A and B are shown apart, each in its own frame.
Chain A
Amino acid sequence: MPAISLTINGRAHGPIEVREDLTMNDFLREVLGMTGTKFGCGAAQCLSCAVIVDHADGTSSTMPTCIVAATEFDKLNIRTVEGHAKNGELTPLQKSFIAHFAFQCGYCTPGFLNEGQVLLERLEKSPIPRAELEGTIAEALDGHLCRCSGYVKYHQAVRDVVLADAHRFLT
């Protein structure tokens, strides 16, 4: 069996032997016991399983874990829902999700949190005009499925983090 090594939330893991067809989702949940990353559909349609991948060029993106083999994550640096808060301090986006009552059952929250965080970090590097904000958020979050909330509060929560620190995210 191949062995993989990767960094999750700043902590090195591995080398760990895995089946070639073991999904990353099962690697996180069954091998490492990190169940913050959810399993929803196994078909990359709901994205409750998405994690953040931090690339070598300094950019980040989300990637579904339910259809991607764990071996594809070898040598990668990823972040999951468990790694957002630091030293007991929630991030602005986590606080905003709470303040807006963005989620209900919360099962999709890790995916939305990861996607929203990637968006914020992207906007910080490449600010956009205010007029493009709602459309940009909608485009970023649209792949994520939520059955409880109707999405409104998730979008408002992301928007309000941007607007609360507009000079950082907007041109």
Chain B
Amino acid sequence: MRLSRREFVTWVAASGITLATSRLRAAQAARFDETQILPGAAAPRPVHGATGRIDAVAKVTGAKLYASDFRAADMDGWPPTTAHALLLRGTDAAHVFAGLDLSALDASAQPTKIVTAEDLARAGTRVPPFYAGDLLCPVGNTPLYLGQPVALLLFETFDAYDRARVRLRQTSPVKLGVETGPLAQPNYAALRFTRVAGDAPGAPDVYSPLMEGWISPGFFEAGGRPIWQPLPTSEGGQYKKGATYGDEIRAFIAANDPGTLVLDRSFRTQSVDPMFLEPECGLGWYDPKAKALQLVLGVQSPLEASEALGHLLGEATPTLRPERIETHFAHLGGGFGGRDHTPFPLYVALAAMFLPGRPIRLAHDRFQQFQGGIKRHAFEMRSQVAIDRASGRMRAFAADHILDGGGLANYSASVAAVSATSAIGIYDIPKVDVTTLAEHSRGVTAGSMRGYGVLQTTAALETLVDEAAEAIGLDPITLRRRNLLKAGGLTMTGNPWTVSVRTPEILDKLEGHALWRERALAQKTASADTLVGTGVAVCAKDYGTGADCALGRVEVDPKGRIRIFCDAVEMGNGIGTAVANRVAQFLGRMADEVSVARIDAFDALGLVTSGDPYVITQEEQDTASRNPRWVPAVSSATSASIGAHVGTQAAAEAARIILRFGMWPAALALWGIGQEDPRHFLWDEAFWQDGMLILSGLPPLAQEEVAAKAHAMGALTGAMAHAFSRWAWAQAAFPLDGLDWAADIDALAVRRGEGPFKVLDRSFIAFPPASYNRIGTSFTSSCGTLVRVEIDKASGAVRVMQAYSVLECGQALSPQVVLGQAQGGFAMGVGYALLENLPPFEDGPGNGRWNLGDYVVARASDLPIHALEVEVLPPVAPNEPPKGMAEVVMIPVVPAILNAIHDATGHRFQALPVTPDDVRRVL
């Protein structure tokens, strides 16, 4: 088995289809000048703290922004009428699919065309390897999972579609054949992470994943479960060696030394839905004359979607094979990982190809979104910890995770790896052994939903730590403090965190907060019909995936106006605003235009890639990198957590280059400073203030004046860059104006004046070593949370009355966006702990009967909206880069609530969500 953190497969244009993307027309905010949707026009001066989001006016005026807003009539050059598609899904995964019975539809609701698996087979479409399953279940097969699509119905009119949609929800058209029971499929991943630290502080590890690589067992039981014993495999002793150390750790825990506290606990977390408010949808039009397929989509991973579409149709029969696929990417009405590598765009494309010449729309309603959308993995966990009673130091930890990945392959292997490598949270534990198994099941597909892996394991760990503190007789914060992983210490994969480590400050903040100090008083003063409790939890959340890319292009015009293109997607995370803020630091003005999801705007870089960045060997990387256009990966999916750190990187470096080689030479000319003047080199001491470039002792220069001069001189006025991170940025140098300019980017093109972009060859390149793929994470942000709950004795209802979260995220590029993300993360954490639940299998969302109402997410009345305090620690230094955030705030909320419930009731719940009935039963 080749071990990969993310099974990222690239299909670049193997099909020969030209893949292109472009931007939708500007938001149609009638009566508003386009510049009014941008912060620059309203408040051009402040570099930080500009008023409003970049997309703010569009969003409060109902402008067309989201994929669900567009119809054929909104698209330039498209036929004006929109047809509609309905994706039919099975609700049974234990019987053979015997075909469709559409007799429940009267003549006014009959589809124009029915697309089945047989049609796809005849057409020669291919399922992108990432998804590894039939897009439509063939007649005669048992569906691979509950909710697997069985057919696409295509309707000429909205009314016919709408009637059929409602009718077929009441009367399933799916005919069932013989009972087969659920299909057994191979599991997605089985991994083991073991580390044994050296005997003395600072001594090298005895064994670690970083030293020896990630390991997977070689043998499996008939049912597919791995055999974890250290058996030798045909590939040699790699697994046996690690597993032997792992078993020794487990034997040490089992020895149950009297001086050691051993806790052995199980914990279960549920499946939930991302519940982004805009159900997935898309619009497509295949123009058979031009042999061009155009699509409007809303996904978190534009490049992946484009390439998957190329693969889908690349070897189709001539009438169903476009020569060009052009995809327009829209803003998202929420994502939370549920639109990262979603197969939905494939069905939009199929609908368009099978109704050529007619624009057609495929849109989930909420029932369908619950039935078919990507979910969070449910986890079963067993955790064991051994703690020295005298010192309170954790000596060993072991855990076993089983994840339900559902029926269609997605990111289960990645979620399994992340959960395992985050299993010891913020702690320094010298002996760790964690097994993790991502299983295939007949459930709805689970993927990389917000905070994946860490959310589940932190809930188990932080409740375990709380219990341990009580058992040993230590304050929960004291026990945590004694075991913190310090800066330079090694994580369970054997590498250190390479960013700031601020958990000590976070614990200090929590300990000093009135909510914590006055917790006993709060209990004493509770009313007779309520129980009150206070809980604490802390987490560290990785950000980044180990192969993260950013594309950024920045242009300054002669009037100083700034235009930015980036490949990141706007899904509410504020990426456009963050990029604009970061560029403004270098160019003195908020952008006048930020265009997101624009993987098409970087042709001048001429990027090429090859292989899988997660499994590439050092030799392969060294060979490939001799090509100055080669990068390990071109573009990666957007997630809120990496937005600030990754999504802004390329644009920020491009802006820095424009400052250094465009604006600064222009300023020198305006000041009359020649090459012999020592101030000639002080470009990084100059700064922008209120739209003026300032260098001590010289007259301030207006940004517009500097930009005009740069253009007049033919200096550098535009730069586009690519950046790649494998737990460290790739670094390269480029020849610029007689200098070798080194930066954390690996590709660069520049323009001068109004000239075209010209790519520059790297004079030096250092990609992060391939061995970094063995790292679990080296980038983390931390957050601690205190919650006070009040429990109604009669009903068992738990209410979060007050909360305090303290987080660190480096430099907050847009503090208001950070705060909003933190508040939203808190709400999602409350929902996960107390409200949200999707049962597995037949009673779960695959049955097509789930909607809001049955599925409860947190509303304002479930939250302490006037008693939620969020404190964001200032960066450790003015130049500390932005770190990831958002999901890190959600994660500790869950165990903090559980610990508070224990404080109130004396009972430890070890399954989520905790419902009023659960609580009432233990009172």
Chain A positions within 8 Å of B, measured between CB atoms, are 19, 21-22, 26, 30, 33-43, 45-46, 48, 80-82, 84-85, 87-88, 90, 94, 97-110, 113, 134, 138, 141-155
Q: Mark B269-298, 1 if CB is under 8 A from A, else 0.
A: 000001111110000000000000000000
Say whether A33 contacts B74, CB under 8 Å. Answer: yes
Distance, CA A42 to CA B849, complexed state (A): 13
Say whether A101 contacts B866, CB under 8 Å. Answer: no
B70 vs chain A, min Cβ distance (A) = 8
Distance, CA A147 to CA B279, complexed state (A): 13
Say whether A103 contacts B827, CB under 8 Å. Answer: no
A8 vs chain B, min Cβ distance (A) = 12
Contacts A38-B277, A45-B853 supplied; 8 other A-B pairs, CB < 8 Å: A30-B71, A34-B62, A37-B62, A41-B852, A88-B31, A88-B32, A138-B865, A151-B863
When A142-B860, A147-B824 are in contact, do A94 and B61 touch as well, CB less than 8 Å?
A: yes
- How many residues of B are counted as interface, with CB atoms below 8 angstroms from the partner's CB atoms? 73
Say whether B277 contacts A48, CB under 8 Å. Answer: yes
Chain B residues whose C-beta falls within 8 Å of the C-beta of A103 in the assembled complex: 59-60, 572
When A30-B158, A40-B277, A98-B56 are in contact, do A148 and B820 touch as well, CB less than 8 Å?
A: yes
Distance, CA A87 to CA B859, complexed state (A): 34
Say whether B865 contacts A152, CB under 8 Å. Answer: yes
Say whether A85 contacts B31, CB under 8 Å. Answer: yes
CB interface residues, B 56-89, toward A, < 8 Å = 56-66, 68-71, 73-74
A104 vs chain B, min Cβ distance (A) = 3
When A88-B32, A104-B573, A147-B334 are in contact, do A46 and B277 touch as well, CB less than 8 Å?
A: yes
Is B431 an interface residue, CB under 8 A from the partner? Answer: no
Say whether B63 contacts A101, CB under 8 Å. Answer: no
Say whether B62 contacts A138, CB under 8 Å. Answer: no
Distance, CA A84 to CA B57, complexed state (A): 12
Residue of B nearest to A105 (CB): B572
Say whether B824 contacts A35, CB under 8 Å. Answer: no
Is B333 an interface residue, CB under 8 A from the partner? Answer: yes
When A43-B851, A151-B860, A153-B823 are in contact, do A107 and B52 touch as well, CB less than 8 Å?
A: no
Chain B residues whose C-beta falls within 8 Å of the C-beta of A87 in the assembled complex: 31
When A105-B571, A147-B275, A151-B863 are in contact, do A36 and B62 touch as well, CB less than 8 Å?
A: yes
Distance, CA A153 to CA B822, complexed state (A): 11
A16 vs chain B, min Cβ distance (A) = 13
Say whether A42 contacts B278, CB under 8 Å. Answer: no
Is B257 an interface residue, CB under 8 A from the partner? Answer: no
Chain A residues whose C-beta falls within 8 Å of the C-beta of B274 in the assembled complex: 147
Say whether A101 contacts B367, CB under 8 Å. Answer: no
A144 vs chain B, min Cβ distance (A) = 8
* A-B residue pairs in contact (CB < 8 Å), sample of 6: A40-B277, A94-B61, A103-B572, A134-B866, A145-B852, A147-B828
Q: Mark B147-165, 1 if CB is under 8 A from A, else 0.
A: 0000000000011001100
Say whether A104 contacts B828, CB under 8 Å. Answer: no
B870 vs chain A, min Cβ distance (A) = 9
Say whether B60 contacts A109, CB under 8 Å. Answer: yes
Chain B positions within 8 Å of A, measured between CB atoms, are 30-33, 36, 51-53, 55-66, 68-71, 73-74, 158-159, 162-163, 166, 274-279, 331-336, 365-367, 571-574, 816-817, 819-828, 851-853, 857, 859-861, 863, 865-866, 868
A164 vs chain B, min Cβ distance (A) = 15
Partner of A106, one of B55, B857, B863: B55
Chain B residues whose C-beta falls within 8 Å of the C-beta of A42 in the assembled complex: 365-367, 851
Distance, CA A46 to CA B853, complexed state (A): 9
Say whether B861 contacts A138, CB under 8 Å. Answer: yes
Distance, CA A26 to CA B574, complexed state (A): 30
Say whether A150 contacts B827, CB under 8 Å. Answer: yes
Distance, CA A107 to CA B64, complexed state (A): 11
A119 vs chain B, min Cβ distance (A) = 14
When A48-B277, A148-B824 are in contact, do A110 and B62 touch as well, CB less than 8 Å?
A: yes
Say whether B68 contacts A39, CB under 8 Å. Answer: yes
Chain B residues whose C-beta falls within 8 Å of the C-beta of A151 in the assembled complex: 823, 827, 859-860, 863, 865
Say whether A38 contacts B857, CB under 8 Å. Answer: no
Say whether B52 contacts A98, CB under 8 Å. Answer: yes
B635 vs chain A, min Cβ distance (A) = 21
Distance, CA A39 to CA B816, complexed state (A): 27
Residue of A nearest to B861 (CB): A142
Say whether B820 contacts A153, CB under 8 Å. Answer: yes
Residue of A nearest to B84 (CB): A30
Chain B residues whose C-beta falls within 8 Å of the C-beta of A138 in the assembled complex: 860-861, 865
Residue of A nearest to B851 (CB): A43
Say whether B61 contacts A155, CB under 8 Å. Answer: no
Ranked 4 nearest A-B pairs via Cβ:
A36-B62, A105-B572, A150-B823, A107-B333
When A41-B366, A105-B333, A149-B824 are in contact, do A26 and B162 touch as well, CB less than 8 Å?
A: yes
Chain B residues whose C-beta falls within 8 Å of the C-beta of A22 in the assembled complex: 159, 162
Distance, CA A108 to CA B859, complexed state (A): 13
Partner of A107, one of B278, B574, B817, B865: B278
Distance, CA A14 to CA B278, complexed state (A): 29
Say whether A85 contacts B852, CB under 8 Å. Answer: no
A93 vs chain B, min Cβ distance (A) = 8
When A38-B277, A113-B60, A150-B865 are in contact, do A107 and B334 touch as well, CB less than 8 Å?
A: yes
Say whether B573 contacts A81, CB under 8 Å. Answer: no
Residue of A nearest to B277 (CB): A107
Chain A residues whose C-beta falls within 8 Å of the C-beta of B828 in the assembled complex: 147
Chain B residues whose C-beta falls within 8 Å of the C-beta of A41 in the assembled complex: 366, 851-853
